[in-house]
Amino acid sequence: MLTFNIIVLLIGATASCLANQRFTNLYLEKYDYIYYGTLDSPAPTANDLAWKAFWSFYLILNALIPLELLVGLEIAKGLGTLYM
């Protein structure tokens, strides 16, 4: 079950990342005041923003994996080692 939840999490984050990259590519030129750079750092590219968006969506969607599932898995591992 944990593996399924992680796969769903990664698929959701990847799909959202790709949608963000498409949106950024479409509107980067039109709304340049949003994607501006400074003298110290140039304006980010669509790929840079998509990479950051992937980790943002990963953290947002991380609630898909319930904490009780992880705790239950660790308890099951601990009890399993007692019987070895």
**18, 50 contact by CB (below 8 A):** yes
pTM of the model: 0.66
What is residue 38's predicted lDDT score, i.e. its pLDDT?
66
Q: Cα(14)–Cα(51) distance, rounded to whole angstroms?
A: 10
What's the pLDDT at 3?
80
Residue spans per domain, the chain: 2-82
Q: What is the pLDDT of residue 45?
A: 79
Closest CA to 14 of 71, 72, 54, 56: 54
At 82, list the tokens: 């007692």
20 neighbors 50 (Cβ within 8 angstroms): yes
Chunked in runs of 10, what are the mean pLDDT values of the chain (84 residues)?
82 92 85 71 80 90 76 84 85
Q: Spell out the residues 6+ positions from residue 54 whose beta carbon is closer than 8 angstroms to its own.
A: 13, 14, 16, 17
pLDDT of residue 63: 80
